[in-house]
Structure 1
Amino acid sequence: MTDTALKALVTNKNAVPDPGIRSILQWLEVPLAPHPAEELPSLRSHMKALRELEGTPQQHARALDGLYRRSATVITSLLPSLATNLVLPVPRKQRRIVRSVVDLLQMLADDTLALLEAAQGQEMTDPRQAPGLAVWRSLNAIAQQILVSSLIAAPARTGAWQQLHQTYATARRLQLHAYVPEDLSRSLRDIYRSAVLLGCAQPASMTPPEVLFLAAYLERFAGQIEPLPATAAAAAGTFWIDPARDGPAISCLRRLSPPTVPLDGFSCARLCLRLKAQIAQLDAGTPPQEINLPEFAGTPAGRGVLHRLAERWSDAGKRRFPRRRQDHRTLLATGIDGLWLLSRKGEATDVELSTWLISNESPDGYAVMHVSGHTGALSVGDVAAVRTGSDPNWQVGMVRWAISENPEHLELGLQILAPRAVPAILARPSDKEGTGYFRVLILPEIPRLRAGELLVVASGVLPPQPQKLILVIEDANVFVREVRCTRVHEQTSNVEILSIEPA
């Protein structure tokens, strides 16, 4: 047989796929289902089937390429819908979708990286078998796993962080860390840095829309971090990574890196300078689009996220107070309206209360686990009140973080802001709509801890730069107070907390 005939035979063999692979390729030509979630069972079943099918490496690479592209389209379409439900714990239906997405991403991460091993020592003419593309897709699938888990306040899959670190180590060993696939703009290094910074930002302390906003921000600015040796002196904004450890990066101020283990380090100093400059521009009235920020950055919640990022990426130091383990129960209520009614009329009112177990406490607040009762419209960044033991007062705080591994499990971190709240009505005159009236809470000063009062108001009620405010307080008598805002203390998707003083 001549060389020409032999090449034609090989080409024909690669062109005629195995019947199972042909079935997958035919399915990939079918239009997408009306709802992206309907695609997930078929994608997972075809991924599993592909592992068992015979065929050449080129045929497998072709089918896997199609499945990866279709999966990427489906998951991108699903992310906004996964971020619309702000209530915790996440419902079973939504959690099942997320679990299906994570399983699909895990198969994609494993199988795309397996192409790299299968191609070793072989001459590759098909770009779908390129080592850079295989590692890029594997790393991107793992990073998306971490992002999707964060949307439902769930921890990342066991082993996800370790696989992320080790896949990137493979890319660096092969000098592929700067690889950018055709028609895309992000390199392997950009994807890895985005995932690492997401972990440093403590996504459990953000709502799903805030997590997606952070992901969009990192797509633009993750390249601002600077690599450093992990043995460099501990400083604000420096972190270290242990590739063998199943966890995100650790702040050098919180824990020093072990001297005997080969580690990676980086600094967020330059990124934080950029971040603070962007916050200043937003405060000055610059539209977010003019400084390459997502539109969400122009909202009170977006500005609140940017302020928290500047703090966590620059000064993620040791805890201020030690924790003490506990095992007693407490009642919990959430939301401005619920706390307003409790402060005004007590527990006899129609306020949803739930029972929680305090697992540890510090002078700052509590970590609590849900035991019974309906939690209501609960989300990170909302105000909450707890009452323990025989104490008649409701301590007022904020939900700082939430972890929910399954629909029956929910843990919260509560920061206590005041031992009680004073209910009030905010009168906001308007030329177009007349005077609006809104329920608010006044948190009294705490001697030796906080000198002034705080005002808690629903997010979006006040103008961007509130000045003089009129408060109506009803106690034994009704009286009116005029106050002015001295600074914005906190902004979340649910509430804004302002420092106030007499006008």
Structure 2
Amino acid sequence: MHEAWPTDWAWALPADTDAPLDSLSLAGTRPPDLRAWLTALPAGDPLTSAASLTRLLEELTRLPLDTRCRLALLEDIRPRVHRLAAVLQSHYLDTPLSLSTPAREAADRVADLFDALARAYQRVAAALLATPPGPARRQAAATAVQRALDALSQQLGQHWLLYTPARAGLWWRLHRLYAGAALHALHTLPVADPEAPGHESSVHLAYTRALLMASAQPQQLRPPALIALFRAAGQWGRRLPLHAAPLEGGFDVALDQDRGPAPAGDPARSGPRWRHFDTRPLAEALCDGGGDPGRPFSSLLRAHLRTVWSAPRGRAAPRRAGRETVRVVLGLNGAHACLDQPARVHNAEPVRCQDRGEQGCGLIWHGPAPRGLRVGAVLALAGADGGPWRVGEIRWLARAAEGVRAGVQWLPGEVRPVRISHGYGDTLPTPALLVPAADGADTLLVPTAGFAAGARVTVWDGPPRLVRLGARVAGSADACRYRLRLA
């Protein structure tokens, strides 16, 4: 038996030095008493409610209690945790990347809530699997492990929403829970779950949701897309078997390491501590219009997933390190102005450039980050002492101790500023960027709002010319790039 598979389910629970409790300090252990306490939590003060609920879960984990009673109490608490987390989440979604103190406190409360919930359910699983369980105890154990995995996945989801690295040990706990459940053949048992899409889940679905999210390069997605993907990925695990043998493509994940999946390709990643999964069939289903999550799913997100799941890969070109300061102007309109009038004094912001390569560069904002800094934003960059402007798109974001880091991908070719109007010049000209190509397949970068494939537009670049926006080759919520066709 490999060391990645736990035989003692008490790992990661409070240490023996934490003395058992005689009673809960905040609520009673009778279900009616607990429900009354949950109902009385102050709705207008979610931070205080979250702190109280976290304390209750921590005490419940240490309280000697009949396992069936503990599981029943947790089943009453869990829906309240999810509702409270959604309220707290609204405090830091759609906020600047430089979080305010109240927003940061709300995010920490959400992480603490789900962490305590996971440990409480793990206590149930440890008790149920201490001896060989019968069918009823196996089903209860599968439920407890699925709930713990879901809580840890929710905690990971908060990190992705905030572009922060996962807490130390979080991935390790996810892997261990799944490996232990697989050892006891619990991972495929269906589990009723009112919080899951379709109201049914399993250990496998809860675990593969985290794997799918991590393999989708979540640092390249905005919060609304992350939330939509998290919802859909809870069911897509049905299409994602985990293999013990290495695959030609897809992803590998180590069950005994504190990290998520990585693109396949290293032949040394084999053995009982590894699992392998292939996202290409799911990417093909998305291409064919399948994989419907049951709610509107944006074409931009579908295109992103088809790209990252069809051919997983790392950075294609090396970067050279550097600590130079550059000037940055955010936004399509700002980038257009920099190229259109390069000699003019623009409202540029000094930013530290960490590395640079042929395909892009890495930037870091020390101190407060501008509100326009988001995945998919267009920017123009030039040296601090002058020089030509270069245009790129922000591909990923990450919060770090020293500030907010951003990965920039250059637009190909010699980008040229133009203006466009709908139809035959029927609207006021809008700034856009023309991206010439050597093969004549020029593309046009336009605002996402108001333009779509198939639209006729007039390009004002010298003599006006009428063109049609062809296939979209890239895009975000800010700007999209289309191939140009003759109207």
Deviates more, 1:182-191 or 1:150-159: 182-191
Residue equivalent to 1:439: 430
Residues 1:471 and 2:474 aligned together? no
Does residue 66 in structure 1 map to residue 95 in structure 2?
no
- Aligned to 1:393, the other structure's residue is in SS state strand
Distance (whole Å) between structure 1 residues aligned to residue 155 and residue 312 of structure 2: 25
- 1:113 alignment partner AA: Q
1:485 aligns with 2:473: no
Q: So what's the TM-score if we normalise by structure 2?
A: 0.83
Partner residue of 1:457?
446
SS in 2 for 1:313: helix
SS in structure 1 of the partner of residue 186 of structure 2: coil
TM-score, with structure 1 as normaliser: 0.81
What's the CA shift for 1:361? 1.9
Q: Which amino acid aligns with 1:171?
A: A
In the TM superposition, residue 336 of structure 1 has moved relative to its aligned partner by 1.4
Task: Tell me the equivalent position of 1:383.
Answer: 378
Return the match for 2:205 from 179, 182, 190: 190
Structure 2 unaligned segments of length 5 or more: list them.
Answer: 1-21, 194-198
Report matched runs for 1:324-339 at 5 Å.
Answer: 324-339=320-335
Deviations 1:303-353 (CA, angstroms, capped at 9, x unpaired): 1221121121120135321222222121111111222333334475563x3
Residues 83 and 151 in structure 1, CA contact (< 8 A), matched pair in contact too:
no
Do the aligned partners of 2:142 and 2:202 also contact (CA within 8 Å) in 1? no
Contact 2:96 2:370 in 1 (8 A): no
Shift of 1:171: 1.1
Question: Are the equivalent residues in 2 in contact too, given 1:18–1:54 (CA < 8 A)?
Answer: no
Other structure's SS at 2:474 match: strand
In structure 2, the residue matched to 1:252 is 264
Alpha-carbon distance in structure 1 between the residues aligned to 2:65 and 2:255: 35
Distance 1:438 1:46 in 2: 60
- State yes or no: 1:98 paired with 2:101: no
CA deviation vs aligned residue, 1:244-279 (integer Å, no higher than 9, x gap): 1111111114x4443466311122232122111018
* Displacement of 1:359: 1.8
Amino acid at match of 2:257: R
Distance 2:377 2:299 in 1: 16
Identity of matched residues, %: 21
Instruction: Give 1:108's match in structure 2, choosing from 109, 112, 117.
Output: 117
Question: Residue in 2 aligned with 1:207?
Answer: 222
Deviation at 1:54, TM superposition (A): 5.8
> Following TM superposition, by how much is the alpha carbon of 1:122 offset from its aligned partner in structure 2, in angstroms?
9.8
For 1:175, what is the secondary structure of its paired residue? coil
> Compared with structure 1, are the counterparts of its residues 240 and 19 closer, same or farther at alpha carbon in structure 2 (3 Å cutoff)?
closer
Partner of 2:410: 416
User: For residue 223 of structure 2, what is the amino acid of its counterpart?
Assistant: P
Are residue 271 (structure 1) and residue 282 (structure 2) matched?
yes
> Using the alignment, how far apart are the partners of 1:116 and 1:401 within structure 2?
38
Q: Which has the larger radius of gyration?
A: 1
Q: Deviations over 1:352-408 (max 9, x none)?
A: x322222222210001111367524111011111112545321101100000146x6
Match of 2:56 among 36, 39, 46: 46
Which of these residues, 312, 317, 322, is aligned with residue 308 of structure 2? 312
Distance apart, 1:133 and its partner CA? 2.0
1:118 matched to 2:114? The reply is: no
Q: Is the 8 A contact 1:140 1:191 kept in 2?
A: yes
Distance 1:401 1:86 in 2: 17
Please say if 1:154 is aligned against 2:145. no
Q: Is residue 180 from structure 1 mapped to residue 190 from structure 2 by the alignment?
A: yes
Tell which deviates more after alignment, 195-204 or 62-71.
62-71
Work out the CA distance in 2 between the residues paired with 1:49 and 1:125. Answer: 29
2:175–2:255 Cα contact (<8 Å) kept: yes
Query: What is the deviation of 1:176?
Result: 1.2
Q: Aligned-pair distance for 1:52?
A: 5.2
Which one of the candidate residues 333, 336, 341 is aligned to 1:340?
336
Distance 2:39 2:367 in 1: 49
- Name the structure 2 match of 1:239: 251
2:14 matched residue in structure 1: none
Alpha carbons 1:490, 1:496 under 8 Å: kept: yes
Contact 1:323 1:362 in 2 (8 A): yes
**Structure 2 vs 1, CA of residues 40 and 314 (structure 1 numbering), >3 Å: closer, same or farther?**
same
Whether the 8 Å CA contact 1:428–1:470 is kept in 2: the answer is yes
Root-mean-square deviation (CA), in Å?
3.2
Contact 2:209–2:237 under 8 Å retained in 1: yes
Indicate which of 170, 180, 185 corresponds to 1:170. 180
Deviation, 1:188, is 1.4
Task: Name the residue aligned to 1:226.
Answer: 241
Post-superposition Cα deviations, 1:274-293, rounded to whole Å, max 9, x if no partner, equal: 111018xxxxxxxxxxx834
Q: 1:36 to 1:496 in 2, by over 3 A?
A: farther
Q: Hey, what's the Cα distance between the residues in 2 that align with 1:222 and 1:86?
A: 31
The reply on whether 1:495 has 2:479 as its aligned counterpart is: yes
Would you say the 8 A contact 1:394–1:420 is kept in 2?
Answer: no
Q: Is the 8 A contact 2:378 2:392 kept in 1?
A: yes
Whether the 8 Å contact between 1:168 and 1:177 is mirrored in structure 2 is: yes
Q: Output the CA distance in 1 between the equivalents of 2:235 and 2:127.
A: 34
Alignment length (residue pairs):
456
For the 8 Å contact 1:354–1:374, the answer to whether it is kept is no
